[in-house]
Structure 1
Amino acid sequence: MGHELAPCEVAIGLGSHDLGVASFSAELYHAGLFPLLVFTGATSRTTVARFPRGEAVHYRERAIELGVPDEAILVEPQATNTGHNIAYSRALLAEHGHCPKSLLLISKPYMERRAFATCRKAWPDATVACASEPLKFDEYVQSIGDGKLVIDMLVGDMQRVMEYPRLGFAIEQVVPAKVVAAYERLLDNGFDGRLLT
């Protein structure tokens, strides 16, 4: 989304198949952007083989490998969708005595907008910025190792950006006509493995 990053109270690393979220979270922690980091996520059909003990658990281990102190990390291991990532992280923070008003959401690159829209709906009183590992598309696909998965996930994310406001899960986002046209072309070419059912 191109948000300018500034120091905030808490960062939330959103679980997915992308371990780069944990690595970039560690980088931003070391840059002094936040003192506390929540990793959130259980497993899904796209992550159970990669992260069998849960996305948040594996993210925590990666961040610790990269020098983030254990006491700076909270783990929320139950969330299975973005709404739950936000709601469960907020509840976990409250349990630990934190009611932050400024947040940084760290996600895979194509999830920033959906994460933002979801958080603005579920946590409207917080200031929210989004960040993701700054990779070009081909670099990102190479880092994941599965181009079909990446494009399926990207298409599924776009569908959710468009559909979730109608379902009450997110705030409305402007989707340019050329983006809708690209989304429809990808669907026509069989990239439909992560659509809502």
Structure 2
Amino acid sequence: MISTQDWADTRLLWKYHQMGHSPQPCSVAIGLGSHDLGVADMAVELYERGMAPLLVFTGATSPTTRERMPRGEAVHYRERALELGVPSSAVLVEPRARNTGENITFSRELLREAGVEVSSILLISKPYEERRAYATARKLWPGVGIISASSPMTLDEYVDSIGDARLVIDMLVGALQRLLVYPEQGFMISQPVPEDVAEAYERLCRQGFTSRLLRDAAGQARSQMRR
């Protein structure tokens, strides 16, 4: 049973995970692979609005996408973009990345090899991955402007699209834990977590929304917030 307090805490995490950036024209748009084809749809929408002349889709497969996207996340994203009318000349595919750090690093290498000069990136992810994608790109690709974007969905709309409320909460909790743990490992920049968000995260952990937490790291994440 998901309580009223659980939902209130989840909404705090949902809002924090989103950067609130307004899309602006950038050198390139990079769509981060996942189970969610909405990332590709959003990339196409921004391309059609003239926000980027080139799309890069990045991602291999994972246990959650292997059956749905057997040819790889980036390949399926590209196919979706072509179906929606984007010319093949405006799409590059990076098919190897298996995590956010590799998404950024391999996309950077691909664009360099293609001779594309990049001064700014429109970084497109799932709604609850905006801040994680931004923090990772800031660490691994310094010197370029980064604007985070995702499908403009409410939490309720996203839960409906996934069809599993508890899984969504678990994913939001896991994403926040990584924002706390990964900076110390050099994977992303550190960002302040407001006290109400930290308290909401701790309550959700205590309520058992922990399936997406890194193993044995939940206690470490909570202790960091209390410092």
TM-score range relative to shorter protein: over 0.9
Bigger RCO (CA 8 Å, 6+ sep): 2
CA contact (8 A) 1:17 1:55 kept: yes
The DSSP-based 3-state class of the residue aligned with 1:129 is strand
Which deviates further from its counterpart, 37-46 or 26-35?
A: 37-46
Query: 1:152 and 2:170 equivalent?
Result: yes
Aligned ranges for residues 1-197 of structure 1 at < 5 Å? 1-197=19-215
TM-score, normalisation: structure 2: 0.84
1:126-149 CA distance string (max 9 Å, x none): 110000100111111112223233
Aligned pair count reads 197
Work out the CA distance in 2 between the residues paired with 1:145 and 1:47.
16
Cα distance between partner residues in 2 of 1:141 and 1:58:
23
Query: Distance between the aligned counterparts of 1:52 and 1:185, measured in 2?
Result: 37
Cα offsets for 1:136-171 (capped at 9, x unmatched): 111111122232332222111111111111111111
Aligned counterpart, 2:220: none
Looking at structure 1, the residues matched to 61 and 210 of structure 2 have their Cα atoms a distance apart, in angstroms, of 20
Which ranges of structure 2 fall in alignment gaps of 5 or more residues? 1-18, 216-227
Distance in 2, matches of 1:193 and 1:52, equals 24
Deviation >3 Å, runs of 4+: none
1:51, distance to aligned residue in structure 2 (A): 1.6
Larger Rg: 2
**Deviation of 1:10 (Å):** 0.3
The CA distance in 2 between the partners of 1:94 and 1:22, in whole Å, is: 22
Identity over the aligned pairs, expressed in percent?
64
The alignment's C-alpha RMSD in Å is 1.1
TM-score between both structures, scaled by the size of structure 1: 0.96
Kindly provide the amino acid, as one letter, of the partner of residue 118 in structure 2. P
**Paired AA for residue 105 in structure 1:** L
The amino acid across from 2:161 in the alignment is S
